[in-house]
A and B are shown apart, each in its own frame.
Chain A
């Protein structure tokens, strides 16, 4: 409990945190309120990017790199492609409708409660240990020594995803 409080006060002492938090929340609000779905996608990229900045503030550099490479770089491309592949795109009649806004606010509020609850009820093992000077170096060494089996399994999981995507795409064509 005390550790979490210390950690929160540590992060919130940084003025950059407020800038990043503002950009994250503002762009996230734009995602759900803008009428043009393409603009929403662009705002989502900004949201994901500023979350990467928050990760850097939390000294999770590798997570920030992964966030920028995978979410900002790849997932957003998938999203934009999905929008560009929409057949009614030319009609420009696809506007976002927020008919479920009450339910959405309720669900978001519940999620906030769950997040806060788990933040204070989790035993954060190792939060008191000092961070290594170079996180990514340490992750690289651990990945190649202690966690080499999960690392190789990841490549098989990715191979399965690759083949799955190809099979699905080929079925659609034929």
Chain B
């Protein structure tokens, strides 16, 4: 439990840093907004259109692939913690686990899902 105190302190410091930065910035900055200044910054180019555009549907398949491999990471985590006590057999088990999932990745690759056409 005590080890999570560090997580809590880190979290509070993180939130505090943002709040303090925004608050002091508001206190000391001059307020002089005009149209050009309020424009969205797009690498120095003149912005066109709304930034709230519909994203390309193709992003979604990447998100789905990410979710699958994220779940894999969840299983890798306790395996990595216990690895020193388990030895070679655990390594083989995890290799089987990952190889099965790599089949899916190879399938996606072969089907051209990963290619941005």
Contacts and interface: CB of A to CB of B under 8 A. Distances in A.
Interface residues of B, number: 48
B89 interface: yes
Contacts, number: 141
B79 A140 contact: yes
A47 to B, nearest CB: 15
B79 A166 contact: no
Interface string A135-160: 01111110111001001101110110
A14 to B, nearest CB: 9
Interface string B72-105: 1111011111110110011001001110110111
B34 interface: no
B17 interface: no
Contacts of B67: 70, 74-75, 77-78
Contacts of B61: 165-166, 169
B104 A81 contact: no
A109 to B, nearest CB: 32
B54 A90 contact: yes
Interface string A91-111: 010000000000000000000
A74 B100 contact: no
B7 to A, nearest CB: 8
Chain B interface main SS type: helix
A97 to B, nearest CB: 19
Nearest to B70: A74
A56 interface: yes
Interface in B40-74: 50, 52-55, 57, 59-61, 63-68, 70-74
Given A87-B54, A90-B52, A162 B65 contact: yes
Contacts of B98: 155
B52 A89 contact: yes
A158 to B, nearest CB: 5
B13 interface: no
Contacts of A129: none
B100 A152 contact: yes
B37 interface: no
Q: Taking each of B1, B63, B85, which has the highest tally of chain A beta carbons within 10 Å of its own beta carbon?
A: B63
Interface of B: 1, 4, 8, 50, 52-55, 57, 59-61, 63-68, 70-75, 77-83, 85-86, 89-90, 93, 96-98, 100-101, 103-105, 107-108, 111, 113
